[in-house]
Structure 1
Amino acid sequence: MLRRLSVTITATATFWLLCNSLTLAETKKPQQPDKFPPNPLETTTPDPLLPRDPKKQPLSASELQQLETALDQLNQEAAAKLQAGDELGAFDTWNRELRLRRYLGSLKEVQALGRVGAIAYQKNNRPEVQYITQRLQAIQKQAQSQKTNDLELLQALGQAYRQVRSPQNAVVVYEQVLTNVRQQQDTAKEIQTLQTIGEVHLSWFDYPKAAATYQELLKLATARGDSVNELIYLQQLAYIYEQAKQPQQAVNIRNRLAEIYQKQNNLTALPALKLAIGSDYESLARENPNLLQEAFNNYQQAYTTAWQLQQYVRASEALQKLIALYRSQGQINNALQASEILVQSQQLASNFYGLMNAYDLIGQMNLERKDYPQALKAFQKGLEVAQQLKYEEGYFSEQIQKVSGQIPR
């Protein structure tokens, strides 16, 4: 009886302990940790560098001058700490400087925020970058609420956003600057602002927006008869469309460039441009085979112009493109004729690796049409060059051995 009672009491006690522990588990809620600690730039602790609370009584001109001198000293101290390897101490000092910079006015604060933000980004100090970005956004919001037309402040904000790698925020600010300068009909500042916006888009590989911006700049330059900048914007657009893999747009721009080069008698730049146009047409020909002829025409123009200008390296590039086109269309005889010219251009360019590869190409094409004596001749010449270079000798020896076995004795 006592044993049964003991078991019952033990079971009851165990059940009560379980219930009690479960109840405790239900009532005890884990605390959610903060993603980031409080922003050190918003600390309101009084600073010894301030003679009094500026919110209650503004600082005099002489006091502001003394404060600025002291803050410049803090900046130097922070830089010295960073140089000595004390990154934590450096940013603590910089944060103190930044907290106090606001009393010198928004412009000077924004400039300092950008300066320190650039260092924080370089050091991969993400929390510091976020603190600075938040402060910049607060200043921007205040400027918008006051409907400020302070272009110097807005441009400083845009630059600071670029320094902390916040392109979206930077573009928003620069768009506001653009609206203001257009209202003022200040064409010079409009162009400058558009150039900055284009640079921001390009730096973050936003090619569609970059293209739209440079198209605006191109229209302005064309309307003003500014041939120098028109050329620059066309070159930039050609690059953008190439990176964005938009061959049709690239062709349109590059054809305009070609017209300008020809009018200016600037033939030096023409071979490389014609090569690029040919490549664009080759890409377009995948969907429209009729455009393959345009690719051929441009490669032909690139080759002839380069040869006339003694740009033999460029001429070789164009010939290689032509040979590849001929082969793709089964025109082996034409490809072989172009290859003989390729040999000459590689010799004139003193490109011995290119010369060796040209002989290999001739050998392979002769193999395709089963002209073994000509193939053997090409591989033997290739071996001679390979021996001079001490490169790929085994490959050419092997090709010679294989081809020799195909020639009747």
Structure 2
Amino acid sequence: MLNIQRFSITFATAITICLLSTSLTLAKEKKPKPPKEFPPSPLEITVPDPLLPAYRNQQSLNSEEKRSLEAALDQLNREAIAQLQAGDTQGAFATWNRELRLRRYLGTLNEIQALQRVGGIAYTRNNRLQIRYITERLQAIQKQVQLEQRPDLRVLQALGEAYRQVRSPSLAIEAYNQVLIIVRENSDVAAEIDTLKIIGNIQLDWFDYPAAATTYEQLLSLVTQDNDIEQSLKDLVYIYDRTKQPQKAIEARKKLSLVYRQRNDIAQLSALKLAIGSDYETLAKENSNFVDEAFKNYQEAYTMAWEFQQYVPAAEALQKLVSLYVAENQTEDALQTSQILLQAEERAANFYGMMNAYEQIGKIHLQRQENQLALAAFQKGLELAQQLGSETKDLLEQIQKISGTT
């Protein structure tokens, strides 16, 4: 009986080992092959196309053949648009890919322009695979162009714009940098300015502020028209503000103020003075010597605006002055300026601004322990708040607090 049990155990063990071995062997045999990382590009298919029956292997076509082919490819584009509008996205891009494959027979520039057009559509449809196909083809064309002793300027410009359409900023800038080399060799300042504008726009669109600053600084050294100078300085101010460089922002704004001064544009000048004051106030956090410059520019902004009866910007400058006086513990100046601020808000018919000014005056009086004067200011603010249907909680709390101590 014991031998039979041992035999059964041994037999079962053998069967188990055999099954395991067989399973491992089958697993090895059935192990799937790793898939290719990407499918081949449909733009590189070499199957003969019916639109090229007689001259498939020729590198160039005669004028008549080109006209015939271009008409056929324009028709393919229309068919693709119709397919897309009908909801057949896959079919539409298959048709466009056929068109793009054949566009190269019409010349490099013609092909790039078609790639740009379809690339823009692919981006709006979030067709990443199609964007990759088009980008790879553009790069292949660019490599060929770079081998030429003197690349075609129009081809490089078209490459840059095509890369923009498929949202490849670094490749676009690379192409436009090649354009820059050529136009500079030709001493074509107008073309250099246009190219720098494009490069700067790309860099700004993709938040590359340091590179954009360099580009617009170069641009500023070339432009002579007031409008171009103004826009370049505005772009630089924007960049310096975004990158928190107040000192450079001040320099750019001061140059911009010269443009507005020549035009006698007081509104723009006042706004610039206000912004310069804010920049100096930022610098004053690290160096108190800049406080006086902040005061000076705020005062100039207020004076300019008030003189030309622009009471809204005048009130904004006055508010900045009051806040700075309070921060510097100059409460007497803060109170006097607050009274002028009240007048500005009243002339601007800004009742919310008047309400806030009264509340601010009350807080300054409280700081000076002038409770009765504070109470009067808070009560005037409360009256306006009630008339406007505005929140009254803070004003009521201040009034109750003062009333409880008097």
Give the aligned partner of residue 46 of structure 1. 48
Give the aligned partner of residue 228 of structure 2. 229
Identity rate, percent: 57
SS of the equivalent of 2:405 reads coil
CA distance in 2, matches of 1:373, 1:259: 48
CA distance in 2, matches of 1:148, 1:134: 23
Give the aligned partner of residue 101 of structure 1. 103
Pairing partner for 1:157 from 156, 159, 167: 159
Give the aligned partner of residue 77 of structure 1. 79
Give how far 1:140 is off: 0.5
SS of the equivalent of 1:194 reads helix
Map 1:243-258 to 2 at 5 A.
243-258=242-257
CA contact (8 A) 1:114 1:160 kept: yes
CA distance in 1, matches of 2:56, 2:148: 21
CA contact (8 A) 1:198 1:210 kept: yes
Give the aligned partner of residue 203 of structure 1. 205
CA distance in 2, matches of 1:342, 1:220: 43
Aligned: 1:37 with 2:39: yes
CA distance in 2, matches of 1:236, 1:60: 49
| AA partner of residue 8 (structure 1) | T
Map 1:140-155 to 2 at 5 A.
140-155=142-157
Give how far 1:228 is off: 4.2
Give the aligned partner of residue 272 of structure 1. 271
| AA partner of residue 256 (structure 1) | K
| AA partner of residue 206 (structure 1) | D
Give the aligned partner of residue 179 of structure 2. 177
Runs of 4+ in 1 over 6 A off after TM superposition: none
Give the aligned partner of residue 402 of structure 1. 401
| AA partner of residue 333 (structure 1) | E
SS of the equivalent of 1:50 reads coil
CA contact (8 A) 1:140 1:157 kept: yes
Give how far 1:27 is off: 6.2
Pairing partner for 2:114 from 109, 112, 115: 112
Q: Check 1:354–1:86 CA distance in 2 against 1; reply closer, same or farther (3 A cut).
A: farther
Aligned: 1:301 with 2:300: yes
CA contact (8 A) 1:54 1:103 kept: no
Give the aligned partner of residue 216 of structure 1. 218
Deviates more, 1:51-60 or 1:112-121: 51-60
CA distance in 2, matches of 1:34, 1:376: 79
CA contact (8 A) 2:48 2:56 kept: no
Q: Check 1:140–1:370 CA distance in 2 against 1; reply closer, same or farther (3 A cut).
A: same
User: Can you list the C-alpha shifts for 1:257-280, whole angstroms capped at 9, x where unaligned?
Assistant: 224433543333111101111111
Pairing partner for 2:62 from 60, 63, 67: 60
SS of the equivalent of 2:286 reads coil
Give the aligned partner of residue 286 of structure 1. 285
CA contact (8 A) 2:326 2:334 kept: yes
Aligned: 1:342 with 2:334: no
SS of the equivalent of 1:405 reads helix
Give the aligned partner of residue 331 of structure 2. 332
Q: Check 1:54–1:47 CA distance in 2 against 1; reply closer, same or farther (3 A cut).
A: closer
Pairing partner for 2:15 from 13, 33, 39: 13
CA distance in 2, matches of 1:152, 1:73: 25
Q: Count how many residue pairs are aligned between Structure 1 and Structure 2.
A: 404
Give the aligned partner of residue 92 of structure 1. 94
Give how far 1:206 is off: 1.0
CA contact (8 A) 2:176 2:195 kept: yes
CA contact (8 A) 1:197 1:213 kept: yes
CA contact (8 A) 1:102 1:109 kept: yes
Give the aligned partner of residue 22 of structure 1. 24
CA distance in 1, matches of 2:322, 2:37: 61
Measured on the aligned residues, the alpha-carbon RMSD in Å equals 1.9
Deviates more, 1:151-160 or 1:209-218: 209-218
| AA partner of residue 95 (structure 1) | N
CA distance in 2, matches of 1:71, 1:43: 17
| AA partner of residue 352 (structure 1) | F
User: Can you list the C-alpha shifts for 1:48-96, whole angstroms capped at 9, x where unaligned?
Assistant: 2222343247433222212211211121222222222222222122112
Give the aligned partner of residue 361 of structure 1. 360
CA distance in 2, matches of 1:55, 1:148: 27
SS of the equivalent of 1:32 reads coil
CA contact (8 A) 2:298 2:320 kept: yes
Q: Check 1:84–1:352 CA distance in 2 against 1; reply closer, same or farther (3 A cut).
A: farther
User: Can you list the C-alpha shifts for 1:300-344, whole angstroms capped at 9, x where unaligned?
Assistant: 111111111212111111111111111111112211111111111
| AA partner of residue 168 (structure 1) | S
Q: Check 1:31–1:281 CA distance in 2 against 1; reply closer, same or farther (3 A cut).
A: farther
Q: TM-score, normalised by structure 1?
A: 0.93
Give the aligned partner of residue 380 of structure 1. 379
CA contact (8 A) 2:273 2:297 kept: yes
CA distance in 1, matches of 2:37, 2:306: 64
| AA partner of residue 147 (structure 1) | Q
Aligned: 1:194 with 2:193: no
CA contact (8 A) 1:36 1:127 kept: no
Q: Check 1:254–1:57 CA distance in 2 against 1; reply closer, same or farther (3 A cut).
A: closer
The gaps in structure 2 that reach 5 residues or longer are none
Give how far 1:182 is off: 1.1
CA distance in 2, matches of 1:369, 1:214: 50
